[in-house]
Structure 1
Amino acid sequence: MSEAVRIITEQVRSRVRRDGVDLASDENLAEQYVRAELQRYSERALGGAHPLIADEHQAAREVVASLTGFGALQPLLDDPEIEEIWINGPSRVFVARDGVPELTDMVLSAREVRDLVERMLQASGRRVDLSSPFVDASLPDGSRLHVVIPDITREWSVNIRKFTRRIRDLNQLVGLGSLTQQASEFLRMCVLAGQNILVSGATQTGKTTMLNALLSATRRTERIVTVEETFELDLSARDVVAMQCRQPSLEGRGEITLRRLIKESLRMRPDRLVVGEVREAESLDLLIALNSGLPKFTIYTLRSWECRSLFRCEVAPPLTSISGGIEASGVNPCWCPFVSRGVPTSNMLSTLQSVRF
């Protein structure tokens, strides 16, 4: 951000606070404030009080983006080719295109990074501070935000995984080469037959994309309940309820965990229960839900290295209040290597291999 843009932005914010208006939801009003302040700035600059502006139109756009969008990051968020943005420090801003990371020439100040994070968290109602130095949240467009602050990190660490609507169903995965037609039909039949489905993969391998594609194969009359840490799934189903976790308040009260959401979802008459990611204590509740015999099936995701161990370590032992537990010998999962975010690679799926433990 140039010195001129910084000065104009601060002046507009001061006027907005005095007038008690909200520019975040009214871009036209923001432009009016910016034009008026830009005019005043130019007059002062001609008198030598401020540096001259080479491109007033560009300066106005940057100020409006700072007031109504996400400042210097807004062009990166608007770029459809960029999949992810992360900040390791004010001068270390990275983006990923087609899975390839690159260091940008963007240089922010520490104050700008903090202001950007605060603005991003406003819409979600979540917070990050010394008592809660980690936060996950969703941006208005569905992109996922993760922030870690000092003293856990040296600098503010920000990750934005952009939400992409490129993949809507299994047929599109076939078109991209991520699945064969045979694999697509097999998965579609599993959905229609009400099979329990586990989607496993490392970070950025397209687990959420696969979940969305699988759920597109459900029948129109079915009721879907989803539980996630933060909203990521984008379903077009007719009857769907989406729930996400909630942070505790400053007093330490009011936290809603994924484990609690799974329990509550069973009282909501789900035909399909979808769990965004299983990592900790919620594994037990999910297994109890599976054993309770949901009318259709449960879909959930976990990291790739957990896939086999889930059945070896968590399914085999008896569960609380369930006599005898679940026999591991009754589990017959299928596995398939899935490509990163729907981008074709040399490891395209040729067959679905059945694995028995």
Structure 2
Amino acid sequence: MKMPWTSSVDELSSGDTRFVTHRAARRTAICTACAVGVAALAGGVAIGRYSSVVDVPTGPGPEGVATHHYVVGEIGRMNASISLLDPRIARLSAQIAELREFDQRLRTQPQRGGAVVAPAAPGARSGDDDEEGPDEADHGHDAAAGAGARAGEGGPALAPRRCVEASASRTNARAVSGAVDCMAATLATLEQAVAQHEAAWQAFPGRRPTGTGRLGSPFGNRIDPFTQRLSFHPGLDIVAPTGTPILAAAGGRVVFAGPKAGYGNCVDIDHGNGFATRYGHASKIDVQVGQIVLPGDHIADVGSTGRSTGPHLHFEVIVSGTQVNPAGYLALFGAYHNG
């Protein structure tokens, strides 16, 4: 388009030159102003439409104040959630470290006759074991049938998803909130799994049943101190002064507390999974049948009741109804010195 005030080279050379008149200049200015006005109007309409879509209140009005309070509240909530995760992570790390250390001691423990390790916690089988033989499959079905009231679980074995990736498709604020919620849920799942192993570890009968003392008569065949004949000793004697506290070697439930032939005052504790411990010759019993005890709880005092020649604790570890050598169990938590 050729503007009114321009001329081509050919027109100038031919003498057909047109000059810009006052009317043409005014008409051009009016057209230019109208074009600018239309452009400004279009821009204003576009900005209005964009603002209606975003709908983010600005300025010191009520909506802006409400938005400010909402953002501050969300930041405070996320900070509080994250601060609650820190001690849980620290506690979980300490539990895992303790269980890993015990597992290493358990693996390096030399195999002893009659020494039985604690069974694995429920659900210890890895979900990655997709390939199994016919015998393993039948065993799995039998185990599932024997689970009884436990709810069915299953599905493909997939790698865990990172919490940040799980919320990557959301906006920034929602991504952070989703990541915090994901980490909290993941942490709760890990805590539940560790709690099962922690319970099995707490019920493992290997903690020292007295704070002080020395080993006396060992487990196995010995010369009976009364008949002077060869006989079987089903436990381990720990020599200690009368009144020395007798401590639970593991967590469990008291199933017997009272006089027992050959043992004098005796306490039996059921630890579950076929494990039990027995504490004989006590001078005083401090627990009752049905009472729940934790590892290291005071259950009785050392004495010399029953078939005994002097103050000591007769300690037994019983697995599936059979007495086994307690030495292997005690060695995992700190053995006594031989007398």
Query: What is the TM-score with the length of structure 2 in the denominator?
Result: 0.22
Query: What is the TM-score with the length of structure 1 in the denominator?
Result: 0.21
The higher radius of gyration belongs to 2
